[in-house]
């Protein structure tokens, strides 16, 4: 059997991460199996394996396997933060660690990780990744009742997600966060407009859970 170039596996990892961000559970699970099956035939490359494990920690957050995600991040910390690793690896580690802390309801600690990740994100020219970052930061600020900060980050995320058809569900969920924040700020009319719009769009696109929240 021919050897698979690690660049090819690296591209597959990027594609897998995109699917995870779109919350396509069946496709993400299938891609994970497919990528794993290539490792025995891939030229050994520790950086690619590190990327796989980092993105796998994010996959486990999506599938709510929080303990496994936390264990992976603990195991990867030393390698991920070595001086010779690139900005993307550093970013993934801090961002995914923040997401893990968020799911453990340690919101201030999550924000601390997010803010470190933000410094690495400045060097990464990916507008969808930036939107993803601002979306999760908005959720963390919402949890500690910092509504103005939450709205600021939600607006940044919403403008980007709305411009990309494949991130329609994320755009709708981000608008839901705008409604939640404005409800907390007693801006009832503005909040109601957001909720009505979210309910309509979620119903049109078959996003039943988001529709029920709205």
pLDDT in tens, 14-66: 999 999 998 899 999 999 999 999 888 888 888 899 999 999 999 999 999 99
Under 8 Å between Cβ of 187 and 199: no
The arrangement of secondary structure in 1-124, i.e. its CATH architecture, is: Alpha Horseshoe (1.25)
Compute the distance between CA of residue 20 and CA of residue 200 in angstroms, rounded to an integer: 25
What's the pLDDT score for residue 46? 87
Compute the distance between CA of residue 148 and CA of residue 145 in angstroms, rounded to an integer: 9
Mean pLDDT of the 138-162 span:
98
Domains in the chain: boundaries: 1-124, 145-214
What's the pLDDT score for residue 1? 41
114 has pLDDT over 50: yes
7 has pLDDT over 90: no
Under 8 Å between Cβ of 107 and 139: no
Mean pLDDT of the 106-129 span:
96
Buried b or exposed e, range 56-87, using 16+ CB within 10 angstroms = bbbbbbbeeeeeebbebbeebeebbeeeebee
Mean pLDDT of the 62-88 span:
93
pTM for the whole structure: 0.93
5 has pLDDT over 80: no
Q: Which residues fall within 8 angstroms of residue 49, CB to CB, at 6 or more apart?
A: 39
């Amino acid at each position: 059997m021919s050897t698979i170039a690690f660049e090819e596996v690296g591209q597959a990892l990027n594609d897998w991460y995109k699917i995870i961000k779109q919350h396509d559970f069946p496709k993400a699970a299938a891609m994970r199996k497919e990528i794993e099956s290539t490792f025995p035939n891939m030229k050994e490359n520790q950086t690619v394996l590190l990327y796989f494990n980092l993105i796998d920690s994010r996959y486990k957050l999506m599938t709510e396997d929080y303990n496994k995600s936390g264990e992976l991040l603990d195991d990867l910390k030393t390698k991920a933060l070595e001086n010779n690793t690139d900005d993307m690896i550093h970013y993934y580690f801090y961002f995914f660690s923040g997401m893990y802390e968020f799911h453990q309801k340690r919101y201030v600690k999550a924000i601390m990780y997010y803010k470190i990740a933000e410094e690495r994100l400045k060097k990464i020219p990916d507008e969808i990744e930036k939107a993803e970052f601002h979306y999760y930061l908005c959720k963390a600020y919402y949890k500690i009742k910092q509504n103005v900060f939450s709205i600021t980050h939600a607006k940044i995320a919403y403008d980007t997600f709305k411009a990309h058809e494949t991130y329609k569900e994320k755009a709708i969920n981000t608008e839901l966060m705008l409604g939640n924040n404005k409800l907390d700020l007693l801006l009832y009319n503005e909040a109601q407009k957001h909720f009505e719009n979210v309910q309509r769009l979620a119903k049109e696109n078959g996003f039943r859970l988001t529709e029920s929240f709205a």
